[in-house]
Every structure is written in structure tokens, then in C-alpha cells.
A and B are shown apart, each in its own frame.
Chain A
């Protein structure tokens, strides 16, 4: 009797360990599994480096998205924001002939601008974040189509290219940016007063208000900060595309949100951390890479990714139940 109880307890223990730390083990497991079934090429140094570079764009967006989801909000417009920002920057450099530094700033500022736009919709107009950012998703992609005539424009100056494909020593610049963003986010979220407010606003809006926290201001700043991370990610995208293509960022919100939820940040708000999101971004990238190498049909590709989202949400539900957020 007591033995059976202890067995079931340890099983529950394993289960909860998987829910809590599953993300880290999953990354390792996926890597090993893919390694076993995929051609040698998967394990090559250049491929690993490529995976990290690919992970950088989703990963950096996931940083900002982690902040957004911890405050119990959402942003569907990241892909469109990236396309919009890159389009503006590329046009400024290629058509208006502005300098690469200005182009770079335009990309960053445009992405921040979309963040500010979202933040204002949500805090000033009191719009539901899902709808507000859905609107932005349409609006900014539409603008970018209009500006570029939905055409691809190539040929980036070295300053920008270096961000996407350059190296410092043996380490890709994009990977350095990725790690820098995560360290910065970790510091802000865990060590600063602002970060504590972010958790507080997501954990209990009403209580945060009663504690004297300016809730709308925190939400607005979170969207602004998120816009900055989207901007950094857009720079890398621009560099890797060597310009702008109409499909840039399509469906990216899917990958980014999945990465964050896989990483243990909860839709209910108030819970989450950035390192989990990094792992989530790695998982998404590993899956993308594996499916590409295996040359899987595009249809299966969507089914597979949809299933990963489903899994992430199921995990989130289990986690919420265990943390007592829902019963």
C-alpha cells in the first residue's frame, strides 16, 4: 500500500518535473532524435551554427513576446511589423539613397512604432489585445505591400549584412545579438523594479492597481520594449534576406508565441521566464530545420507545427492547473 503510494508520488514528481523543466530536456532529446534519424549533416558544426542563427530571429522576438504574455497580453502583429520595418528601411536605403546607419535606425524605429501603436490601442482605446494586434497585423502588412508594390528588393550594404551573416571570430553576430537580448531581458525582468511590475500586472491587475502601480503605463512600456526586440530581429531578417521579400514574417507570430508558451510562460499571466522562451525558440527552429532537411511536404509541415502549438497549450493548461491558477 505505502509502496504503491510512493510509486505514484514519484511518478507525479516526474510528471511535474517534465512540466517545469521539460523544455530543457526536450531540446536535448529532440537534438539526439534528429541526429539519429537524419543524415550526418545535421550534426555538423556549420549546421549547428545555422540552427543558432535561424533561432536568433524567432528567439529575439520571443524575448519581447515573453514580456507581453507575462502581462497577460498578446501580440499577433510581429510578422507584419517585421515586414513593415524592413520594407521601410530597405526603401530608405535603395530608393531614397539614405545611408545604411539611417536605414538601420528606420528599421528599429518602425518596429518600435508598431509596438507603440499596439500599446496605445490597448491602453488608451482599451481594445482587447487580440483584436488590436490582429488589426495591426493587417494594417502594417498592407502598408508594406503598398510601399514596395509587393516586390522583392535585394542588395544590402555591408553594415546590415554583417548583422545577419557576419562573424566575430568564430561566432555569428546574430548569435551574439541573440544572447545579448536575452541577458538584457533577464536583467530587466528579474532584477529591475520594472520587471517586478511586469509580473505584478500580469499576476493580478486589480492588486497591482491597488499597490499604486500605473498599470496602463507598464503595459504600454512592455509593448514599446517588445517593439524594440522585434526591431532587432527585423534587422537580422533583413540581413539574411539581403533585402525585403513579400513573404517576410508571414506566420511568424505562430512560431514566436509557440516558443514562449513552450518555454513555460503562461497565457494566464504573471508566470514565465526568458530562458524558457530561448529553449522554445530552439525547439521550433530544430523542428523547422529537421523538416526542411527531410524535405517533408509543406502540408505535413503545417500539421506538425500545429500539433506543436497544441502540445504547448496542453502543457500550459497542465501547468496552470498544477500552479492552482485554474481548478
Chain B
């Protein structure tokens, strides 16, 4: 028998257009706490979802305790003793705590009746263990986020498991609750159970884990014992690659006067007291890991989310957008990260997509629309942005990811904004198209537009931005000019290194 308890060998997984896992081999010893780290999109969650039976691999083998296993659904994963604590709670708000804990193995007596005595007794036991002082009969909807997380953990403990996967379990927890969670993890380890711990908080990894595996771009880079490495080294491995030549070289942009100012913008629970400004011709990068609040800031500026406090100034005048439509009308465009869901009407023609954002002021002609101009504008952008499509009448869904993204860019350009916010503009598109998008964005800045470039890919943030704002857990923790920014430095702040202001 091999020295490893869990072996995932040569696992590969493809999503349309993305090679999410490339021959990944991930090995975990019995009874260790094994950290899994990597940038967003490195493939950690995909790998764990395969272990949890949520996704099926395209290739590769999995062995548990030397036995080859096929995990075809979450039910099978549970039978094999794999307990999964998901990043986002998988609880049912309108069921009681007890029923949530035992949802997968409700104790049943005769005639299909739930054995309530056993259910409540065992729930109380588990709640005591995880340190949650609540009546198991109350509904989950009445709990706080942190309490829900504890229920989630109780759920994972409710059946005999040998492998516990914790995917970012501490994000909603306070320090005290994190300590409590670590106590539980240590107890599990003492019982000889195996734990896989995914976290962005590197400090936690050094506090509790035995080994650490770094993933990057769908591959395992390295596995080492935690005591033989350090934070800087981990960050270097996570970030890895050299800055390629993908980005527009040489900054010949002239920065103009300030166009957008954000002061103490707050939207609970996502972010608070966020302040920054953008000049004409400048690209301001906003970097942060999942849950840092990057996208939410953008959504709040354009009025998709209501703000709790703070002010926004456009060209010196205070503005309040209560709907993205108003933001467009005032010249603030927002390119959303969810291209297919929100940015593009995939069942509509290319030209309709491009003209969509200008309906409100650009094309109106009395009560009707200037349809001829609509098509002229579309033709112009298809040409300017080199959108590869047979005609402007092609349905957007038939275009490649990169060309779809260009259509979305064209849509915002047709509304001729003064400020353009781009949120993860290159997600899920191939390398060539990425480079084109970078050049288009840089070109827009050159023409005097103020750009806010939001991304969780450290490489493009460094390649594109004139200034980088780093967010961690809803706060701006650092602001670094391009010349001083390095991958390590940015990653250091983004993983909660220290809250200092570098200027």
C-alpha cells in the first residue's frame, strides 16, 4: 500500500474554452492537515468538487486507502467518507438546524417517520462540539452567517468521515470563531482523520497545516511540508510566471484631471470606507481575492447595489446613480464580470448588442430609434475592434468568448463613457483575445477615458495598471504605484499581510 491515503492521479477537467485541470496529481497522507493554495482560478475548487462528486473528471484516477474509487455523485462521496464544507453555505433556510445537520442521513424509525428524539439529541451533541449554543429546532434562516458556518461544520461531522475538505471555511468567521474551528480541526487530526484545507489566508496555513500544495493555472506546482517553506516562497509559487509580452508596452498616456472620485463608499456586508480617485487617461487597477469586495464596489458605484454610505463625484459634481441606466447616461460604463449572464444578450444579434447601451440617449429619434445609425455604429465597432463575425446580424452566442467580450466592450464604447469600469474582462477567454482586450483598454485610456480595471489575476493587474488598489475583506489595504508594485508585494497585501498605506 502506498504511503498516501488519498491519491488523485492525472486528473484532468475541461470546461468549454478552459483547461481547468491539466493532469493534476494530488497526494495526501493519512492524518495530516493538508493545505491547498493558489490564485483564483488555479483549479483548487474544481479539484475538490471532483473529490466531492459534484463534478466528474475527464480523465484520471482516484484512490482512497489504496482502493480505486469512482465518485459519481455527492452521495457516493459521502459513502466513501468524504465530508465537504463548501465555501458558500449549502444550508436550507426554512429547515431547522437539526434537519440541516442530518439532511443527508436523517434518522428514521418506522413508517418513514423521522426519529425526532435521536435527531435532536445527536444535533445537541454536535452543536456542543462545534461550540454553537442554539436550540436545534430553530430555523437556519434566523442564524448569523458565522453561526450558519458552524452548522455547516456540524453537518460535516454528523457522519463517519475520514477525509474532511474545508473550502475557505474561515471567511465569515471572527478571530474567536476561527480559534474554535482550529480546535475542532486539531481534534479531528488527533482522531487520525485527514483534512484538506483551502484558504487564502496564508497565516492560517502556517498556524495549523502540516503540508501545503500550491496550484497554478490548473496544475500542481509543488507539495512541501509547511515547516520547510515560508510565506514569501508560497506567494512566489502561487504567482509564478514571468510577466509576458501580452501587455501594451511603454506608457505614453497623458493623465488629465481627476474625473471620478469615490469617498468612503460603504455597502455592508461587502465593503466599507472605500475611497479612491481616477484621472482621465489613467488605468486604476483594483485587486483582491474572492470575497474582497472588488466587484461589489463597482456595482455600488453604478447603482446596481444601493450604498449604505459615502459619496461619488463625477467631474467634480456629486452623483447618485440608482440604476446602471443612470450611470450610462452620465457617462459611467460598467463591463460586468458575468459576461453571459449580464453583459451580453446571447440570443440577440451582434448589432443589437452593441447598440443596447445607447438606446437611452444616442439613438432616440422622437418616439422611434434611428435604425440606420444603429447599424452604422455596429459596423464601425466590428471593424475597429476587429470582432470576428460573418455579419453584424450574427447571433452573439455563435461568437467565441473573446469576440463576445469585444462585443460587450463595443456596447459600452457606443455609449461613449467618460469612465469605464471593467470587471474581470478576460475571464474565460483565450490568450490571444486577452492581449487584444488589453490593447483596446489601453487605447481607450490613451484617448482620455478613465479606466477602473478590476481583476483577480495578479498578472494582468500588474501589466495594465498605473496605480493598484488592493482590497482585503472589504477594505482597501494598500495603494501602490506601478513602479513599486511586484507580484509578491501585491499578493502579500491581498492575503491580509498587513494593513498599511503605501503611497
Contact = CB atoms under 8 A, between A and B. Distances in A.
Main secondary structure of the interface of B (DSSP, over half): loop
A89 to B, nearest CB: 30
Interface in A190-224: 191-194, 196, 199-200, 203-204, 206-214
Contact of A270 (B52, B93, B114): B93
A207 B180 CA distance: 25
Given A209-B74, A212-B73, A193 B114 contact: yes
Secondary structure at the A interface, as helix, strand, loop or mixed, is helix
B94 A271 contact: yes
B261 to A, nearest CB: 28
B360 interface: no
Contact of B84 (A188, A204, A208, A210): A210
B93 A211 contact: no
Contact of A323 (B75, B84, B141): B141
Contact of A211 (B74, B108, B113, B141): B74
Given A210-B54, A211-B90, A270-B93, A196 B114 contact: yes
A271 B99 CA distance: 15
B230 interface: no
A196 B103 contact: yes
Contacts of A203: 92-95
A199 B490 CA distance: 45
B118 interface: no
Interface residues of B, number: 24
Given A196-B95, A199-B94, A210-B86, A191 B113 contact: yes
A210 B90 contact: yes
B104 A192 contact: no
Nearest to B107: A193
Interface residues of A, number: 24
Nearest to B92: A203
B17 interface: no
A324 interface: yes
B95 A211 contact: no
A204 B90 contact: yes
Contacts of A194: 112
B106 interface: yes
Contacts of A200: 92, 95, 103
A203 B104 CA distance: 15
B84 A192 contact: no
Nearest to B103: A211
A288 B440 CA distance: 66
Given A196-B103, A209-B74, A211-B103, A270 B54 contact: no
Contacts of B74: 209-212
A186 to B, nearest CB: 12
Contacts of B378: none
Interface string B110-133: 001110000000000000000000
Contacts of B112: 188, 192-194
Interface of A: 187-188, 191-194, 196, 199-200, 203-204, 206-214, 270-271, 323-324
9 tightest A-B CB contacts, nearest first: A212-B75, A207-B90, A203-B92, A192-B112, A193-B106, A212-B74, A211-B103, A212-B104, A211-B104
